[in-house]
Each structure stands twice: as C-alpha cells, then as structure tokens.
Amino acid sequence: MKPCEGAWNKQHGAAGDTDRSACAEAGEPRCCEGAQAAGDPWKQCMDTAVQLALRAGQVVRKALTEEKRVSTKTSVVDLVTETDHFVEELIISALREKFPSHRFIGEESTSAGSKCVLTDSPTWIIDPIDGTCNFVHRFPLVAVSIGFAVNRELEFGVIYHCIDEKLYTARKGRGAFCNQARLHVTKETGIKNSLILTEIGPKRDPATLKLFLGNMERLLTFQAHGIRVIGSATLSLCHIASGASDAFYQFGLHCWDLAAATVIIREAGGFVIDTSGGPLDLMSCRVVAAGTMELAQSIAQELQTIDYGRDD
Ligand SMILES: O=P(O)(O)O[C@H]1[C@H](O)[C@@H](O)[C@H](O)[C@H](O)[C@@H]1O
Ligand SMILES: [Mg+2]
Ligand SMILES: [Mg+2]
C-alpha cells in the first residue's frame, strides 16, 4: 500500500493549519506549531519531515535509473553522487525556511566540512540517500532518512524506502509504523537461530577486513541462521523494527544512519545499544540493535571493535 500524506496524517492526526507566528515571534520557537497544543510540540515538524521524505524519495526513485556523476569521499568505496547533494539541499533548505532557529546535521554537509555537533537545540539529522552504493549500481534498496532531536533526545524518525514506497515513521512514545501498519520487533533472545544484518563500512584495509569477517565468523559459529548485508544501514534497521530480522550491528555508520532508525526500533519495542553493551552513543559510529536486550548483549559480547572514530 503506497504511503500518502493524507493517509499518514489520518493515521497520526493531521496538524491543523496552525498559526506559527507565535513561534516565530518567540525567536527560538519552543515548538513547531505556535498555538498548537503543548502536548504535541513537534507534530508540525514531523508532518514536514514526512512531506519532504516523500518528495525527496520521488527524486531518488527517478534518478536511480539515470546516468550519474559519482565521486568518492573517505575511501574508493565511499561513494556520493550529485543526487545525494541535491536531495540534502532540497530537504535542508525547506526546513531552514520553515524552522530558521533549528540546527541541521546532514551527511553531505558534514563531508563538506560542516560541524557535526548535537546541542540542546531542535536538530534535524539527515541522510539524503542511504545506500548510495546501491543507488550507483541501480540496486533497488535506497532510503531517505530524517531524524529529529531536542535536548539531545531523539523525538521522531522518518525513513522512506523510496523504491518499495515504504514509509517508516515513529514518534517517541507513540509507536512505530510502516505505511499504516504498526511495527513490532521479534522476541528472539539467542544468537543461535537468529537472522542478523550488518554492513561493511567504508574501510577495506586488510586489518579491518580481518576484524569484519572475524565478527561474522564468530556469530556464525554460534549457529546464527544467517547474516545479511543489504547495503543500507537504515533499511537494515527498519527490518529489525518490522520483525523481518532479529538483530543488526555495524562499525562505520554515522549519526545520520542511526537517528531516525533508533526511534523507529525503540517504538517497535526493540533496543539500540553501543557495541560495548552500554547505552547508545549516537556519535560513536557503532551500534548493536535487536528485538530483545538479551540478543543485543549476546552479540555485543562477541564483537571485536573496528575503530572508525566519532562523528563529533
Ligand atoms: O553512505 P550511505 O548514506 O549510503 O550509508 C552507508 C554507508 O556509506 C556505508 O559505509 C555503510 O556501511 C552503510 O551501508 C550505510 O548505509
Ligand atoms: Mg547517505
Ligand atoms: Mg547512510
């Protein structure tokens, strides 16, 4: 079933055409709705995120089959295209116009030198195309990811699988959805019999590959049913939220891969932690996510760390 803004609003309750002048006059808006009831302070922001993700997804879907200009970033396999840049600019310029006091962390702006710092201010955390390598190869697994945090707490996440037209959304405390269906994680507690997803990350030196393959080998010796690498961290994390797999781990992803998906998994009843077994550190470039804390901890215990530094 295709997502549409009308259906989405029906499900989540459409934001009225509220007067945001109160917000604008306040300078640093306390909310996106101005007069909107205080009990729902970020509804307008999430509505806007959904509209922009759907619009950006149309651009990506059309560009998937077209010729691309490809360049590289941190390694020869860390790819970026003009569409990544175009989509990030489309999203951030629209958000900056509507919410001028908010802050923005974008994958491609960060690559171009913008500071990647999470403050207490309302902050948008954006991956314009997650799965750029898939996009370059016309492999149909790509997503637009928009996360939102206030006071360093993740408030909502929107991930649009723009080829399958699946819109994953979640707001803190209000459940997680794919189009109109509620999402629930699995209850698998052991590595044995679990289906685990991971991603390779952009480093390909022999030492990194040895650690990456060693981690997979260790989990497979625990008789995991399987390990999958699909080329998109955000869509892998959405599969955890939807119960299509039991756990995900990675070294080498970023806050823009994690922000939206973390809200979606938590609201689907799952857990997102650090690879040390401690609490998630959004800027640490590493994660373990699972339907149960038992499985997340069991995987974390088996992982050898691959150092990718930090986003901030
Ligand atoms: O660059 P995009 O936004 O495509 O994100 C991907 C990273 O590039 C990969 O290193 C990483 O391994 C994941 O595949 C992640 O989704
Ligand atoms: Mg990206
Ligand atoms: Mg990404």
The residue contributing the CA closest to ligand 1 atom 4 is 131
Q: CB under 8 Å to 217, separation ≥6 — which residues?
A: none
Which amino acid appears at position 158 of this protein? V
Tokens of 259: 């922000």
CA atoms within 13 A on the CB side of 164: 15
- Tokens for 249? 């781990």
What residues have CB less than 8 Å from 10, skipping those under 6 apart? none
In the reported structure, the alpha carbon of residue 180 is separated from the centroid of ligand 1 by a whole-number distance in angstroms of 27
Pocket of ligand 1 (CB under 6 A): 78, 107, 127, 129-132, 199-202, 231-233, 252-253, 257
pTM, whole model, 2 decimals? 0.91
For residue 233, give the ligand 1 atom closest to its CA: 16
| Long-range contact pairs involving 294-298 (C-beta distance under 8 Å, separation at least 24) | 294/189, 294/190, 295/188, 295/189, 295/190, 295/191, 295/194, 295/246, 295/247, 296/247, 296/271, 296/272, 297/273, 298/189, 298/190, 298/191
- Output the tens digit of pLDDT for each of the chain's 312 residues: 567 555 555 545 443 333 333 334 334 444 454 434 467 789 999 999 999 999 999 999 999 999 999 999 999 999 999 999 999 999 999 999 999 999 999 999 999 999 999 999 999 999 999 999 999 999 999 999 999 999 999 999 999 999 999 999 999 999 999 998 999 999 999 999 999 999 999 999 999 999 999 999 999 999 999 999 999 999 999 999 999 999 999 999 999 999 999 999 999 999 999 999 999 999 999 999 999 999 999 999 999 999 999 999
Q: Which atom of ligand 1 is nearest to the CA of 202?
A: 10
Handedness of CA 182, 188, 189, 192 (dihedral sign): negative
Record the tokens describing residue 275, joined without a space: 């690879």
Beta strands in 1-152 (DSSP E): 70-72, 79-81, 103-106, 123-130, 143-150
Q: Give the ipTM.
A: 0.97
233-276 per-position pLDDT tens digit: 999 999 999 999 999 999 999 999 999 999 999 999 999 999 99
